[in-house]
Amino acid sequence: MTQYATLTIDGKELQLPVIEGSEGEKAIDIRSLRQETGFITFDPGFGSTGSCQSAITFMDGEKGILRYRGIPIEQLAEQSTFVETAYLLIAGKLPTREELTRTSVLLNDFSLLHEDMKYFYQNYPSKAHPMGILSAMVNAMRSFYPELIDLDEDLNNTFLRLISKVRTMAAMAYKISRGHKTVYPRPDYSYCANFLHMMFDNPVIPYEMDNDMVRALNVFWILHADHEQNCSTAAVRVVASGKVNVYAAISAGISALWGPLHGGANQAVIQMLEQIQKEGLTIPQVLAKAKDKNDPFRLMGFGHRVYKTYDPRAKIMKKMCDLVLGKQRCRDELLKIAMELEDAALSDRYFQEKNLYPNVDFYSGIVLRAMGIPTNMFTVMFAIGRLPGWLAQWKEDSLDPLRRISRPRQIYTGETLNDYVPMRDRF
């Protein structure tokens, strides 16, 4: 039996259907609101607005739950690989051994870039941010790989091509920025191992593969693979609603992820630690500045807009953080500051009462730095991990029978009717 919510406006009652999700979350269907009443809703930031129905990711911020296709993130981080998780998100199920092997082979086969794409990289200004370059290069891929014509084409190859080549482009951007020769993947390495190989191997000092680093990278990318309707995912869906090609939609997602309030948060953590070190602040001084509402200083990497308890991804990433730093014995002074800050904040009553726990960005920034990833590449690393989620969301949106082009309304607050004044009469 359909449940309804009753809305009374100007003495008129309107019955609005209530939609219930598979986990019990409820929404009021207001699609007929404007047509029936002339009213619209007002919700800056869309914090109380459901933009779609999705079967990909479930999260509960109050209980600290995150699941991909129903599988808890804890199980995936412990038992899965990034490639298997990517398959799960896009295909909607875990792969068989044969399907996973075929996927891994195709990822290697698709890893080469068209040689003409290198000229794009080489002509970017040396100080250009890698996220700007990556967004532009992904958009340019449509010209180099135009096979995607419509949804009747085998989308899986297009998706795998993107997942493979974005990894190559990220490593290539790093190599070119250092004036080094591009390194391509090895067929005997996994997806994550190959990324580390492409980033850090060189003819003078061959990169020694560390299984713990590979494991940490797998977990980092699994934890970032999707996160419901966040800023960048919403951007992908909004752009996709105009029926643009998948490359353009993903390019938009990369641009949205770039901001410091979204994907750039892990980079902001390192910049905060650098500020603490540069100014010679003690940990008690840092906490005092964070508590002072009149101080512009902000404690980055603590708290989360959605999670009102501990970020479930943070618990997992902390284990990887301890693993990586344990191997390095924390030789980096910046990382020592991070660990001291974590201990102090977790034991401080002010942060406990406000649920300001370290989030996944805090630990992931530390792990990426410990791996040797340059700070300006942190958001690119996030983008590689989020790519399967974006692709799954683009695919779901494209196949949605209720799909409509996104067209938010507004409340106009400007001038009322105002006649044009000729130039000769203006003073």
Q: Is the dihedral of CA 64, 324, 322, 94 positive or negative?
A: positive
d(CA 86, CA 94): 9
CA 293 to chain CA centroid, Å, is 29
**Confidence class for position 260, pLDDT limits 50, 70, 90:** confident
User: What does the block give as tokens for 392?
Assistant: 């799954």
- The DSSP output letter for 31 is T
Q: Tell me the DSSP string of 295-316.
A: S----TTB--SS-SS--HHHHH
- H helix or E strand, kind and range, residue 6: strand 4-9
From-to residues of CATH 1.10.580.10 in the chain = 59-402
d(CA 217, CA 223): 10
pLDDT surpasses 90 at 257: yes
Question: What's the pLDDT tens digit per position in 155-165?
Answer: 688 899 999 99
d(CA 361, CA 413): 37
Residue 239 is which amino acid? V
Please answer whether residues 296 and 265 qualify as being in contact, where contact means their C-beta atoms are separated by less than 8 angstroms: no
CA 266 to chain CA centroid, Å, is 11
d(CA 9, CA 71): 43
Supply the pTM of this predicted model: 0.91
d(CA 180, CA 91): 37
pLDDT surpasses 90 at 121: no
Question: What's the pLDDT tens digit per position in 15-71?
Answer: 999 999 999 999 999 999 999 999 999 999 998 999 999 999 999 988 999 999 999
Please answer whether residues 375 and 260 qualify as being in contact, where contact means their C-beta atoms are separated by less than 8 angstroms: no
Please answer whether residues 313 and 223 qualify as being in contact, where contact means their C-beta atoms are separated by less than 8 angstroms: yes
Question: What's the pLDDT tens digit per position in 355-413?
Answer: 888 889 889 988 999 899 999 899 999 999 999 999 999 999 998 988 899 999 999 99
- H helix or E strand, kind and range, residue 57: strand 57-60
Please state, rounded to an integer, the average pLDDT across all residues of the chain: 90
d(CA 304, CA 302): 7
Q: Give ∠ CA 131-221-64 in degrees, rounded to 5.
A: 110
Q: The sheet that has 4-9: what strands, in order across it?
A: 4-9, 12-20, 26-28
From-to residues of CATH 2.20.28.60 in the chain = 4-50
Give CATH superfamily name and number for 59-402: Citrate Synthase, domain 1 (1.10.580.10)
Give the pLDDT of residue 153: 45
Using CB atoms within 10 A of its CB, is residue 386 exposed (0-12), middle (13-18) or buried (19+)?
buried
Question: What's the pLDDT tens digit per position in 304-352?
Answer: 878 877 889 999 999 998 898 887 665 678 878 988 998 998 899 998 8
User: What does the block give as tokens for 60?
Assistant: 């509960």
Q: Which residues are catalytic?
A: 304, 361
E strands of 151-276, at which residues? none
Query: What residues have CB less than 8 Å from 54, skipping those under 6 apart?
Result: 228, 229, 393, 396
Q: In this structure, what is the dihedral angle of CA atoms 230, 400, 155, 193, given to the nearest 10 degrees?
A: 30
Using CB atoms within 10 A of its CB, is residue 160 exposed (0-12), middle (13-18) or buried (19+)?
buried
Label the pairing between strands 57-60 and 65-68: antiparallel
Fold of 4-50: Rubrerythrin, domain 2 (2.20.28)
Give the pLDDT of residue 149: 52
Q: What are residue 400's phi and psi, to 5 degrees?
A: -75, 120
- H helix or E strand, kind and range, residue 62: none
Beta-bridge partner residues of 5: 16
Q: What are residue 157's phi and psi, to 5 degrees?
A: -65, -40
**Confidence class for position 148, pLDDT limits 50, 70, 90:** low
Q: Bin 154: left if φ > 0, else alpha if -120 < ψ < 50, else beta.
A: beta
